[in-house]
Amino acid sequence: MSDMSIELPVLSGDALEAAQKVFGDRLPVAQRYVQHLASSGIERGLIGPREVPRLWERHVLNCAVVQELIEQGATVADVGSGAGLPGLCLAIARPDLSLTLIEPLERRVIWLTEVVEDLGLENVDIMRSRAEQAVGYVEADYVTARAVSALVGLLDITLPILRGTGQLLALKGRTATEEITKAKKKLNKYGARKTEILLAGEDLLEEPTTVVRVTL
C-alpha cells in the first residue's frame, strides 16, 4: 500500500461526533480506511481527488449509518463494492456482520484485499464476480448497493442473490421516488412485499442517507 503521509480530510465537529457514535472503539480502524481512500484509493482511480475533503461526510459516514437498518449477526452481500462503499464501512462499524464484497474489476479486488488485510477485518470475504454470476454462491440476509445503477436495473442483479427472502438496501439520492415508480413492474415481478424510502442517520448527519428498502 502507499505510505500514509498524504494530507487527510479533517474529522472534527459534528462529523467527529457522528463518527464516534457510529464506529465507537472502531474509529481508529475507520480512520485508517480513510487514509487508504485518500492515498492509494486516489492513485488507483477508486476515488476522485476532489472527494478527499468530504470523504467522511459524503462517503464514509453516509454509508456507515446504514448499519442501523441491519439486524444483529446478519449476512450482507455488497454489490459493486468498488472502494468499499458501503461494504467496508459496514464491516468496520459492525464486526457482528458477515460481509461479502462482490466486485468484478480485478484492480478494485486487489485494492480491497490489501485494505481488508491491513485493517485486520475478519468479517469480510471478497468475491471477484459480476453480481448476477454470484447468485447461488453467496448467502445473504441483505444486499447493499451504492452508485451501481438505477433501481430498475439494480433489481435484476441484487434481488436474485436473496433467493426469495431478505432485503435490498439501495443507497440513493433525490431520484429515489422516481426510480421506484419506474421499477414498479419489476418489483411486482420479483414479488417484493414492501418498497419504502428511509432516511438513515437522521440524528447524526446534516444530510441523512436516503435508502430504498425492498423487502421480499
Residue 128 in 3-state DSSP? strand
How far is residue 191 from each of residues 152, 167, 178, measured CA to CA in Å? 14, 12, 20
Would you list which residues are annotated within the binding site?
80, 85, 131-132, 146
User: How far apart (Å, rounded) are the C-alpha atoms in residues 129 and 106?
Assistant: 9
Q: Write the DSSP string, 51-106.
A: GGGGIIIIIIHHHHGGGGGS-TT-EEEEET-TTTTTHHHHHHH-TTSEEEEEE--H
Would you list which residues are annotated within the binding site for S-adenosyl-L-methionine?
80, 85, 131-132, 146
Q: Which three cell numbers stand for residue 1?
A: 500500500
CB atoms within 10 A of CB 189: 12
CB 162 within 8 A of CB 156: no
